[in-house]
Structure 1
Amino acid sequence: MREVAFIKQNKEKWLSFEKTIANNTVKDPDELASQYIKLINDLSYAQTYYPKSKITIYLNQLAVKTYNKIYKNKTEDTNRIITFWKTEVPLITYKYRKFIYIAFAIFFTFTFIGVISAANNAEFLRTVVGDSYVNQTLENIENGDPVAIYKSGSNWGSFIGITVNNLRVGILSFVLGVFGGVGTIWVLFENCVMLGSFQYFFYEKDVFWESVRGIWIHGAMEIFAIVIEAAAGLILGASILFPGTHSRFTSFKKGAKIGVKILISTFPFTFAAGFLEGFITRYSNVMPNFLSVGIILTTLALISYYYLIYPFKVNKQQTSKILAFKP
C-alpha cells in the first residue's frame, strides 16, 4: 500500500484516538488496551514500509503516550497510599538523593562541632540545654540511670508529647527551607550540636554505653528522620535559588510538592520513634544488652534501607520496565 493511501485509510482513527488520549476521556482500560494493540499494528506496518517517514515518527509518539496512559491507569487502580510509600517516595528520594547525602554531611559536621565544643568547654552543654537539664542528668547518673530523664511521665503522655515535638521540628525544618535552605540548616545545627555535646557529656562521665543503650533505642529513627526532613527543606531552598529553565515560582511549586512528599514519608518513622521512647526506652536500664542493641540496629537498618537502598531497587525496576517497552 502506498503511504498516502495508508494515511488516508487510518487518519481519522488516529486523530480520534489522539484526541481521546489528550482529553483523558477513556473510562475503560480494556478498551484503551485494545486500541493500543491496533495502534501498534499500524506502527509496525509503518516501520516496515515507511521507516523514515514522518507518519512513523507520529505513530511512535502516539504509542508512547498511550503506553504511559495505560501504565497510569494501572497505577491508579492500586491502593494510592501503598503506591505512595512503595514506589513514589523511593523514586523521589532516588532522584534527589544528593540532597540526602548533603543533609547527612551537614549532620555529621554539626554533630562533630558539638562534640569538639563540649570537649573544650565544660560549660558548653549548659549553654545549649540549660542548667536544670544538666543538673537533672548529673543526679540521674549518680542514681545509676543516666537516661532517666527520658523515662519521666506516663507511657502515653510521653509518646504523644515526644511525637508532637518531633513532628514540629520536622515540619519547621522543611518550612524554613523557604529561606534558601538557611533556615533548615539552622534547625539542623541546633539539634546536631545538642546531640554531639550531650553524647560527649555522657562519655566524659563514663556512662557513654548506658546513654547509647537508652537514647538510640528511639534515636536511630528519630535522628535519621530529622536528617531526611532537612533534605526536604534543602530541596525547597534549592528550588528557589536554582530555578533552572523554569520560572522561580514554578520551580518553587515543584520543590514544595516534592519536599512535602518526602516530609510526609518520615511521619511513620517519627511515630515509631515516639512509641519507642514512650514505651520501650524507659526499660533500657533493665533490658539485656542484646535486646537493646537489637532494637537499635533493627530500627536503624529499617529506615536506612528505605531511604538509602530501596530507592535504587525501585529505580532499577522502573528503568527495566521502560527499556522493555519497544514500540
Structure 2
Amino acid sequence: MREVAFIKQNKEKWLEFEQAIFGKAKKNPDELASLYIHLVNDLSFAQTYYPKSKAVTYLNHLASITYQKIYKTKREESNRFISFFKTEVPLIVYQYRRYVLYAFILFTVFTAIGVISAINDTTFARLIMGDYYVNMTLENIENGNPVAVYKSGSNWGMWFSITKNNLEVGLKSYFFGIFGGLGTAYILFRNCIMLGSFQYFFMEQGVFWESVRGIWIHGAMEIFAMVIEAAAGLILGASLLFPKTYSRKASLKMGFKNSFKIVLATMPFTIMAGILEGFVTRYSPDMPRFLNIFIILATLALISFYFLIYPFIVHKKTHLKNV
C-alpha cells in the first residue's frame, strides 16, 4: 500500500484519536486502552513500511500521549493487570471472534471423529491411550471408581505436574500456528481424537455419567482453554498467510502481539483447572451429585462468559461511549 493511500484510509480514525486525547470529552483509561490498541497497530505498520515518513512521527506522538494518559500515575500502572483482562483482551477476542468460531468447529468435528472411530473399532481406545492406561481404567471401573487415577500422587504434586503439562501443550498448540495454522490444527486434532475416544470408552463400559462427574470438574475449563489457545494459533497462522493491506512482516507482528495476549488470558483458567484436578476431582465420587454438577456448570459458565459473551459486552460499551 502506498503511503498516501495508508494515510487517506486511516485519517478519520486518527482524527477521532485526537479528539479522544485532546478534546473536551474525557475518556476513562479503559476506553483509551481500546483506542491505543488500534493506534499502536497503525504505528507498527508505518514503522515497518514507511520508516522515514512523517506519519511515523505523528502516530508515535499520539501513541505516547495516549500511553501517558492511561498510565500517568503509579496507581493506574498497578491497574494494568486488571485493564488487560477487563478491556484489552475482550476487545481483541471480539476483533478475532471468527477464529474462535473456527476453533470450536474444528474441535467439534475432530472430537466426533474420535467418537466415531471408537465406535467402529473396539481397539481404537487402546491405540490412542495405550494398553496400560486402558487396563488400569478397566480395573478402576471394576473397583467402582472409574476416575480413581486422579487419586494417584499428592494434591500438590498432581496440581503442579498437570498444570505444567497443560500450559506447555497450550503454548505448543499456539506457537505451532506459525506453520499457517496447520500445526495448531494438528495438535487440536490429536487432543480431540483422544477426548472423543476416551469419553466413548467410558460410555461403552456403562460408566459415562460417573466419568463426566469426575473428569469435567476440571475438564470444563481445561478443554475450553485448549480451544481458545487453538483459536490464537489460527490467528497467528492467518496473520502470516493473509496480510491484507499490511506487509507480511507487519501483519505477523500484529497477529503475534494480539494472539499471544489471548493465550496469556487462558493461563489463569488453565491454572484453575489444574487446581481443581489436583485438589477436587479426586473427591468427586464421594461428592453429592448436585455439587458435581454445580462445579462443572459454574466453571464452564465462567470461562464461556469471559471468552464468548463478555467481549461483545465490552465492544458494545466501548463503541457507544466512543460515538
Match of 1:258 in 2: 258
Residue 190 of structure 2 aligns with an amino acid whose one-letter code is E
Match of 2:100 in 1: 100
The percent identity for this pair of structures is 61
Match of 1:287 in 2: 287
Residue 71 of structure 2 aligns with an amino acid whose one-letter code is E
The CA deviation at 1:72 is: 4.8
Match of 1:239 in 2: 239
Match of 2:186 in 1: 186
The CA deviation at 1:75 is: 2.9
> What secondary structure sits across from 2:71 in the alignment?
helix
Match of 2:70 in 1: 75
The CA deviation at 1:129 is: 1.1
Q: Trace 1:60-209 onto structure 2 (pairs within 5 A).
A: 72-77=67-72, 78=76, 79-209=79-209
| Distance in 1 between residues matched to 2:69 and 2:288, nearest whole Å | 48
Match of 1:10 in 2: none
Q: Deviations over 1:239-294 (max 9, x none)?
A: 11101111111111111111110000000000000000000000001001000100
> What secondary structure sits across from 2:114 in the alignment?
helix
Q: Deviations over 1:79-106 (max 9, x none)?
A: 1110000000000000100000100000
| Distance in 2 between residues matched to 1:150 and 1:248, nearest whole Å | 46
- The answer on whether the counterparts of 1:118 and 1:125 sit within 8 Å (CA) in structure 2 is yes
Residue 70 of structure 2 aligns with an amino acid whose one-letter code is T
| Distance in 2 between residues matched to 1:69 and 1:322, nearest whole Å | 20
> What secondary structure sits across from 2:285 in the alignment?
coil
Aligned length: 267
| Distance in 1 between residues matched to 2:288 and 2:147, nearest whole Å | 16
C-alpha RMSD over aligned residues: 2.3
Residue 75 of structure 1 aligns with an amino acid whose one-letter code is I
Q: Give the gaps of 5 or more residues in structure 1.
A: 1-31, 38-64
Q: Deviations over 1:140-178 (max 9, x none)?
A: 000100011122110000000000000011000000000
Q: Give the gaps of 5 or more residues in structure 2.
A: 1-19, 25-59
| Distance in 2 between residues matched to 1:90 and 1:208, nearest whole Å | 35
| Distance in 2 between residues matched to 1:186 and 1:221, nearest whole Å | 21
- The answer on whether the counterparts of 1:36 and 1:66 sit within 8 Å (CA) in structure 2 is no
> What secondary structure sits across from 2:286 in the alignment?
coil
Match of 2:278 in 1: 278
| Distance in 2 between residues matched to 1:169 and 1:122, nearest whole Å | 28
Query: Would the alpha carbon gap of residues 72 and 313 (structure 1) be closer, same or farther in structure 2, given more than 3 Å must change?
Result: farther
Residue 315 of structure 2 aligns with an amino acid whose one-letter code is N
Residue 302 of structure 1 aligns with an amino acid whose one-letter code is L
| Distance in 1 between residues matched to 2:304 and 2:316, nearest whole Å | 18
